[in-house]
Amino acid sequence: MTALLSAKGLKKRFGGNEAVKDVSFDVNEGECVVLAGDNGAGKSTVIKMISGVYTPTEGEVHFDGARLTGKSAEAIRTAGIETIYQDLALADNLDPGLNLYLGREKTRRFLGLPFLAREEMRRDAVDVLQSLGIVVPDPTAPVREMSGGQRQAIAIARAIHWQAKLVIMDEPTAALGVPEQREVMALIERLKSKGVGIILISHNLPDIFAAADRIIVLARGVVAGERRPSETNDEEIVRMMMGATL
Amino acid sequence: MLENNGTSFLKSLLNAWSWLFLILILGFFELYAQMETGNTFLFRVYTLQSIAVAASQILLLALGLTLVIVAGHIDLSIAFTTGFSAVVMALVIRFFGPEGGWLTVILALGVGLLAAIVVGLINGWLVAFINVPSFIGTLGTYGIARGVALIVAGGATVSIRSDEARAIGNGIILGFPVPVLVAAVVAIVFSYLLTHTKFGVHTYALGANRASVERAGVDVKKHLVILFVLSAFTAGIGGLIYTGRFSAGAANAGEPILLYAVAAVFIGGASLTGGQGTVVGTVIGAIIIAVIQFGLVFSGLPPYWQFVAVGLVIIVAVIVDQSRDRLTGVSS
pLDDT at B14 over 80: no
| Strands B158-159 vs B248-249: parallel, antiparallel or unpaired | antiparallel
Residues of chain B found within 8 Å of residue A103, distances taken between Cβ atoms: 202, 213, 216-218
Q: Are B205 and B214 in contact (CB under 8 A)?
A: no
| Residue A174 touches partner B, C-beta closer than 8 Å | no
Q: SS in 3 state form for chain A? A: CCCCEEEEEEEEEECCEEEEEEEEEEECCCCEEEEEECCCCCHHHHHHHHHCCCCCCEEEEEECCEECCCCCHHHHHHHCEEEECCCCCCCCCCCHHHHHHCCCCCEEEECCEEEECHHHHHHHHHHHHHHCCCCCCCCCCCHHHCCHHHHHHHHHHHHHHCCCCEEEEECCCCCCCHHHHHHHHHHHHHHHHCCCEEEEEECCHHHHHHHCCEEEEEECCEEEEEECHHHCCHHHHHHHHCCCCC
- Cβ distance of B209 and A91 shorter than 8 Å: yes
* Residue ending a domain, choose from A163, A191, A226: A163
User: For residue A23, which of A2, A3, A49 has the smallest C-alpha distance?
Assistant: A49
Beta carbons within 10 angstroms of residue B34's beta carbon: 12
Q: Given A89, A91, A115, which is nearest B196 (Cβ)?
A: A115
Q: Which residues of chain A fall below pLDDT 50?
A: 246
Q: Given B214, B216, B276, which is nearest A93 (Cβ)?
A: B276
| Residue B213 touches partner A, C-beta closer than 8 Å | yes
d(CA A53, CA B325): 36
Q: Is residue A50 part of a domain?
A: yes
pLDDT at B214 over 60: yes
Query: Is residue A39 domain-shared with residue A74, that is, in the same domain?
Result: yes
Query: Is residue A16 domain-shared with residue A75, that is, in the same domain?
Result: yes
Query: Is residue A171 domain-shared with residue A74, that is, in the same domain?
Result: yes
A101 → chain B, closest CA residue:
B216
Answer positive or negative: Cα dihedral of A85, A89, A92, A95: negative
Query: Is residue A97 domain-shared with residue A174, that is, in the same domain?
Result: no
| Residue B216 touches partner A, C-beta closer than 8 Å | yes
- Cβ distance of A87 and B198 shorter than 8 Å: no
Q: Are A27 and A34 in contact (CB under 8 A)?
A: no
A74 → chain B, closest CA residue:
B217
Position B279 scores a pLDDT of: 95
B274 → chain A, closest CA residue:
A93
pLDDT at B1 over 60: no
CATH code for the domain of A35: 3.40.50.300
Q: Given A103, A115, A137, which is nearest B216 (Cβ)?
A: A103
- Cβ distance of A102 and B212 shorter than 8 Å: yes
Query: Is residue A174 domain-shared with residue A239, that is, in the same domain?
Result: yes
Q: Are B60 and B238 in contact (CB under 8 A)?
A: yes
Query: Is residue A99 domain-shared with residue A147, that is, in the same domain?
Result: yes
ipTM: 0.82
- Provide the shortest C-alpha distance from residue A214 to chain B (in Å): 29
- Cβ distance of B213 and A145 shorter than 8 Å: no
Query: Is residue A117 domain-shared with residue A184, that is, in the same domain?
Result: no
* Residue ending a domain, choose from A148, A163, A178: A163
Q: Is residue A86 part of a domain?
A: no
| Residue B173 touches partner A, C-beta closer than 8 Å | no
Query: Is residue A134 domain-shared with residue A114, that is, in the same domain?
Result: yes
Instruction: Name, in order, each residue with C-beta under 8 angstroms of B217's C-beta and a sequence gap of 6 or more.
Output: A74, A77, A103, A104
pLDDT, tens only, B278-312: 999 999 999 999 999 888 888 777 878 888 888 88
Beta carbons within 10 angstroms of residue B115's beta carbon: 25
Query: Is residue A143 domain-shared with residue A173, that is, in the same domain?
Result: no
Domain span at A156 = 92-163
Size of interface A-B (CB pairs under 8 A): 77
Phi, psi of A50, rounded to the nearest 5 degrees: -75, -40
Residues of chain B found within 8 Å of residue A146, distances taken between Cβ atoms: 332
Please give the share of chain B, as a percent, with pLDDT higher than 90: 55
Q: Is residue A178 part of a domain?
A: yes
Q: N- to C-terminal Cα distance for chain B?
A: 13
Residues of chain B found within 8 Å of residue A107, distances taken between Cβ atoms: 197-198
Position B5 scores a pLDDT of: 61
- Cβ distance of A103 and B218 shorter than 8 Å: yes
- Cβ distance of B197 and A116 shorter than 8 Å: yes
Give chain B's mean pLDDT.
89
Position A53 scores a pLDDT of: 84
Position B324 scores a pLDDT of: 73
- Cβ distance of B208 and A99 shorter than 8 Å: no
Q: Given A91, A114, A145, which is nearest B212 (Cβ)?
A: A91
Query: Is residue A158 domain-shared with residue A188, that is, in the same domain?
Result: no
- Cβ distance of B216 and A102 shorter than 8 Å: yes
* Residue ending a domain, choose from A111, A132, A163: A163
Q: Is residue A174 part of a domain?
A: yes
- CA distances in angstroms from A173 to A159, B263, B327, listed in the order given: 17, 41, 27
Instruction: Name, in order, each residue with C-beta under 8 angstroms of A41's C-beta and a sequence gap of 6 or more.
Output: A218, A219, A220, A221, A241
User: For residue B61, which of B19, B148, B119 has the smallest C-alpha distance?
Assistant: B119
d(CA A180, CA A165): 24
Residue B19 half-sphere exposure toward CB, CA atoms < 13 A: 6
Structurally, chain A folds into a number of domains equal to 2
Q: Is residue A85 part of a domain?
A: no
Q: Is residue A139 part of a domain?
A: yes
Contact map slice: A 107-146 vs B, CB within 8 A? 107, 113-116, 137-138, 144-146
pLDDT at B143 over 60: yes
B211 → chain A, closest CA residue:
A89
pLDDT at B314 over 70: yes
Q: Are B207 and B276 in contact (CB under 8 A)?
A: yes
Please give the share of chain B, as a percent, with pLDDT higher than 70: 95
Query: Is residue A76 domain-shared with residue A138, that is, in the same domain?
Result: no
d(CA A129, CA A150): 9
> pLDDT-based confidence at B183, cuts 50/70/90?
very high
Position B297 scores a pLDDT of: 81
| Residue A91 touches partner B, C-beta closer than 8 Å | yes
pLDDT at B111 over 80: yes
Q: Is residue A87 part of a domain?
A: no
Instruction: Name, in order, each residue with C-beta under 8 angstroms of B209's C-beta and a sequence gap of 6 or more.
Output: A87, A89, A90, A91, A92
Position A182 scores a pLDDT of: 81
Q: Name the β-bridge partners of A82.
A: A167
- Cβ distance of A94 and B218 shorter than 8 Å: no
Residues of chain B found within 8 Å of residue A157, distances taken between Cβ atoms: none
Position B54 scores a pLDDT of: 93
Higher pLDDT, residue B304 or B78: B78
Residue B133 half-sphere exposure toward CB, CA atoms < 13 A: 2
- Cβ distance of B198 and A74 shorter than 8 Å: no
Position B327 scores a pLDDT of: 67
Position A2 scores a pLDDT of: 77
d(CA B42, CA B32): 11
- Provide the shortest C-alpha distance from residue A242 to chain B (in Å): 33
Position B2 scores a pLDDT of: 43
- Cβ distance of B209 and A89 shorter than 8 Å: yes
Q: Is residue A59 part of a domain?
A: yes
Query: Is residue A172 domain-shared with residue A243, that is, in the same domain?
Result: yes
**What single-letter DSSP state applies at residue B217?**
T
Lowest mean pLDDT among A106-120, A159-173, B80-94, B247-261: A159-173
